[in-house]
Amino acid sequence: MKPSLTTLIALAFVGNALNVQAADLLQVYRDAVGFDAQYAAARASRDAGLEKLPQGRAGLLPTLSLSSQTQWNDNAVKSRTASATTNKAEFNSHYWYVSLSQPLFRWQNWAGYKQGELSAIMAEMQFVQASQDLMLRATQAYFDVLLAQETLVTAQAKKIAIAEQLESAKRNFEVGTATITDTHEAQAAFDLAFAEEIVAENDLAVKRQTLRTLTGKEPEALKGLKPSFQIGRPQPDDIGQWVTSAESGNLGVQLAQTSFEVADQEIDKQRAGHLPTLDLVAMRRKDGATDSTTTGVGSDTKTSYVGLQLSLPLFSGGSVMSKDREAVALKEKARSDLDNARRTATLTARQAYLGVNAGLAQVKALEAGVASSKLSVESNKLGYEVGVRINIDVLNAQSQLYDTQQKLAKARLDTLISQLRLKSSAGTLSEDDLATINALLE
């Protein structure tokens, strides 16, 4: 059987794609990891945030300092007597000292250390969140290109199919078996299909540029989804379990929870302004002076001490109490942010779960619709040949087929991305999930 022009178009498109090395989803994601500016900024922010831990720990550790000074002295002392005399002394003086201070009780430093631990944890969670966001953005950009390619191929195939129908209408009109109306209808449909092809070409160029912005390169070809595959249902297949997981595992919730704990530590930190501080202090000092040019006398003095230093704040103009009230208010804000994060996470999980289920049902319905539309096209073509159908019936059936095929492609891609969003809402999205989708590509 001779292949149709539509089949030839599809085979030509596949053949051109096979002439170059096609990229897959994992390759695109890994390219984005090395190029995407948002991800690079998140990585740098994570590295900066991890430094909060040693900074907080520093408040619990001793401080050691060394200081030294040397100077030349030129002193002249004139007496106020009848026989005024002037005593001059020129000499070099110098000193050095080493001081050590070890906090023994500084509650604000301990609270600062706990804040440093929590801040480092937040920095790591924010980076994980950025990684999951990159997975979703890379997958969405990849799927957008696939859908744009599918739309272009569909538009080209549609145009060729209508062109065949246009030629048929012209031949039938020439032999007197059809009216000029059939030709005009087919010509109008062909012109519309040509316009749709131009729009599809432009959309594909835009989607490819978006992918290039994300990865730094534009692959000549991308691996597409296999013609027939089954999209599995969410596991577990229970919306309640996903909502429960999102309430605790969602990264936005975890960040809000940690922020709340940081705000709680800030209250302790500010209230410590009312408490005494106790430090262990030690110092070793040496002062020296060279021989004076007039007296010929030099000196060296050594001083050492070890002790405890207690400080009790009495009044600081009300700033401590004001900062305490500010910290309490900020803790209440953090509590409300945590409640909002939980509600948002549960809503996102519900929407994603329902989106997956709706997508699965839509895919099944559209698969049946494609099969029915193919039969409709064949039936209308046969009816047109025997005279029981008119040209517009064939054109409408063809348009319905291509429209249904495009909707099916979009529904499959949307369902797959909804599955990733569902796992992201629960905080479990990982590169393994991309690998699972990658296995559906060819």
What CATH number does the domain containing 324 carry? 1.20.1600.10
Please indicate, yes or no, whether residues 30 and 121 belong to a single structural domain of this protein: yes
Please indicate, yes or no, whether residues 430 and 365 belong to a single structural domain of this protein: yes
Please indicate, yes or no, whether residues 419 and 289 belong to a single structural domain of this protein: no
User: Strand, helix or coil at 233?
Assistant: coil
> What pLDDT, on the 0 to 100 scale, is given for residue 3?
45
Please indicate, yes or no, whether residues 110 and 214 belong to a single structural domain of this protein: yes
Q: Cα–Cα distance between 432 and 37 in angstroms, integer?
A: 23
Using only the alpha carbons of the chain, give its radius of gyration: 39
| The domain boundary residue, chosen from 262, 290, 312 | 312
Please indicate, yes or no, whether residues 216 and 72 belong to a single structural domain of this protein: no
> What pLDDT, on the 0 to 100 scale, is given for residue 157?
85
Q: Cα–Cα distance between 183 and 167 in angstroms, integer?
A: 8
> What pLDDT, on the 0 to 100 scale, is given for residue 88?
78
Please indicate, yes or no, whether residues 231 and 182 belong to a single structural domain of this protein: yes
Tell me whether residue 153 is exposed, middle or buried, using C-beta atoms within 10 angstroms of its C-beta: 0 to 12, 13 to 18, 19 or more: buried
In this structure, what DSSP letter does residue 274 have? G
In degrees to the nearest 10, what's the CA dihedral of 386, 391, 392, 396?
A: 70
299-311 and 277-289 beta bridge pairing: antiparallel
Peptide bond into 236 cis (omega under 30): yes
Q: How many CB atoms lie within 10 A of CB 437?
A: 21
Please indicate, yes or no, whether residues 330 and 362 belong to a single structural domain of this protein: yes
Question: What's the sign of the alpha-carbon dihedral 192, 195, 197, 200?
Answer: negative
> What pLDDT, on the 0 to 100 scale, is given for residue 183?
82
Number of domains in the chain: 2
Q: Cα–Cα distance between 189 and 186 in angstroms, integer?
A: 5
Please indicate, yes or no, whether residues 176 and 194 belong to a single structural domain of this protein: yes
Per-residue pLDDT 10s for the chain (442 aa) are 344 444 444 444 444 444 457 899 999 999 999 999 999 999 999 999 999 999 999 999 999 999 999 999 888 877 777 666 777 778 888 999 999 999 999 999 999 999 999 999 999 999 999 999 999 999 999 999 999 999 998 888 888 888 887 887 788 788 776 778 878 888 888 898 899 899 999 999 999 999 999 999 877 789 999 887 888 899 999 999 999 999 999 999 999 999 999 999 999 999 999 999 999 999 999 999 887 666 667 788 999 999 999 999 998 889 999 999 999 999 999 999 999 999 999 999 999 999 999 999 999 999 999 999 999 888 888 887 787 776 777 777 888 888 898 899 999 999 999 999 999 999 999 999 999 999 999 8
pTM: 0.83
Please indicate, yes or no, whether residues 161 and 249 belong to a single structural domain of this protein: yes
Question: The domain containing residue 222 runs over which residues?
Answer: 5-59+106-275+316-438
Q: Cα–Cα distance between 347 and 326 in angstroms, integer?
A: 32
> What pLDDT, on the 0 to 100 scale, is given for residue 177?
66
| The domain boundary residue, chosen from 265, 286, 312 | 312
Please indicate, yes or no, whether residues 287 and 156 belong to a single structural domain of this protein: no
> What pLDDT, on the 0 to 100 scale, is given for residue 11?
47
Helix (H) or strand (E) holding 285: strand 277-289
Please indicate, yes or no, whether residues 41 and 78 belong to a single structural domain of this protein: no
| The domain boundary residue, chosen from 312, 329, 357 | 312
Q: Cα–Cα distance between 406 and 105 in angstroms, integer?
A: 70
> What pLDDT, on the 0 to 100 scale, is given for residue 296?
65
Please indicate, yes or no, whether residues 186 and 74 belong to a single structural domain of this protein: no
